[in-house]
Structure 1
Amino acid sequence: MGYRVAVVGATGNVGREMLNILAEREFPCDELTAVASSRSTGSEIEFGETGRMLKVKNIEHFDFTGYDIALFAAGSGPTKTYAPKAASQGCVVIDNSSLYRMDPDVPLIVPEVNPDAIDGYTKKNIIANPNCSTAQMVVALKPLHDAAKLRRVVVSTYQSTSGAGKAGMDELFNQSRAIFVGDQVEPEKFTKQIAFNVIPHIDVFMDDGSTKEEWKMIVETKKILDPKVKVVATCVRVPVFVGHSESLNLEFEEEISAEQAQEILREAPGCMLVDKREDGGYVTPVECVGEYATYISRVREDPTVENGLALWCVSDNLRKGAALNAVQIAELLGRKHLKKG
């Protein structure tokens, strides 16, 4: 027996990716329903590459009664309205927005990192998916933390325009084309020109000078991994369509060499070590698109701090940073709590 599953926000970038991954991983669905706003109602969307078409239903009138799982990729606004409704109707919500991440009654889950925390979902019938940059980072950090106890993380991100949705990707494309033909470039989605540029600003500014994206990485890492770990982040938007990259400087309580870290990461769940100290012996965002893993390269010792390491990690932000992690949560939920048959 399979599950009855609804994908809410099915017509957006992440919602489409959720459908792709449900199909790729052959998630056991007895019934799968695509749900979106009234603008998309009645349109059809393909279920991965199966050739099966799903007719989109209107979220405003949708009844979640009888559904086991709802994967939400609709943004905080619609989630605030409809996730509690779905949860109250007996459907477990796995939410990709930031709305519930720091709610103490909602588990924030990366299955390779803190699977046991999922047991707390029954308090609200809601599980939160972390920020895309946090998800890939903690996958890389968890096995190293287990081995040598992380003390401090300094992370600089290089985040693709798909993190800002279709409008962000369109702006990069349109600006690049305009520059090549000599047309005027006017920022719309981003605060400054994104084509052939980098912007050290993602989400709104906070009182301490950090952006909300940087704050998310700090507080989410503490909730998922360990509240004692100190984290500082600088989040930067770069002219890449898909795939987030991160430069990490790590300080540990116990001694750990680059060779030990490489051995640990080579065997760690969700990680793929590609670390040859030669031209091209590392992974870039273009190469991670469509892949499940968090790729780790450039592992080396940091001589400026005691027990320090530096490394580079890359992941498809629409997959591990969003849709894949949500489907992995659904798989974990099924194994631990919603067993069928």
Structure 2
Amino acid sequence: MPGEQVLTGGDDPNKIAMLGLTFDDVLLLPAASDVVPAAADTSSQLTKKIRLRVPLVSSAMDTVTEARMAIAMARAGGMGVLHRNLSIADQAGQVEMVKRSEAGMVTDPVTCSPDNTLAEVDAMCARFRISGLPVVDEVGSLVGIITNRDMRFEVDMSKPVSEVMSKSPLITAQEGVTADAALGLLRRNKIEKLPIVDGRGRLTGLITVKDFVKTEQHPLATKDSDGRLLVGAAVGVGDDAWERAMALADAGVDVLVVDTAHAHNRLVLEMVGKVKAEVGHKVEVVGGNVATRSAAAALVAAGADAVKVGVGPGSICTTRVVAGVGAP
């Protein structure tokens, strides 16, 4: 009843859960409304710093979220959390794939040297799902650019990049160029990639025409201040958890989820606090899963920016069935 306190098993001294509801147990009755569906605002705070236009976050399960799903979720206005059933290097690589999938300007573009082979360039393009690379010398100065078009009819993939690349002078823009000016350069010169250089000709960024197209196609996309898609990644509390968390932070992850079946646990609370203290200035920290008020309070006290609530509420989750423990 309204106003009546609802006890949960974890906070009830008798350890008896009085009420537990999951999504299938609740229906809403429609009523008169002046709200036009297209004008409805569903945006919600994931944390104090991150606002999602669509309040959906995909699960950190190996059958649900890898880079492709995380990209799709962020473009739709939500966010994906990459699962941790991967090696540390592979999970960090998945973070990089999401962060490099689109950007207002790529501030650390993947590059190659004139001595790289075409086969090496092809492998890098396949890994990061890009169509070309700026070519820089040993001091970072832009000396050329190589794209799929340059390699399309090449048979000998052992050739060095220097023999195939489009050489300087190239169409470039100086640091600080506006989006409108960059788009104008791309349009007037009929090019797809615009390298950004400093006063010494050293590469400092890259703008692509695809990023402008993606911005128009996905106006609700969840992005960081640099125009890159947001992505989360899960870590545990095992032997490699700290190394994994630091590698993910270095790869540019936006949210670290300390993801366990039972987060009201000393190791989880310590991990949340440790991660928050080390990288909390650049990464949001989420803890879970919990099913009681006291567990949620403990995670907040440990430093969590958000709490993942519910043990076994997912439609395909078997935690409550297998363990006999949990709550929606």
TM range (shorter): under 0.3
Q: Which one has a bigger Cα radius of gyration?
A: 2
Structure number having the greater strand percentage: 1
Q: TM-score, structure 2 length as denominator?
A: 0.23
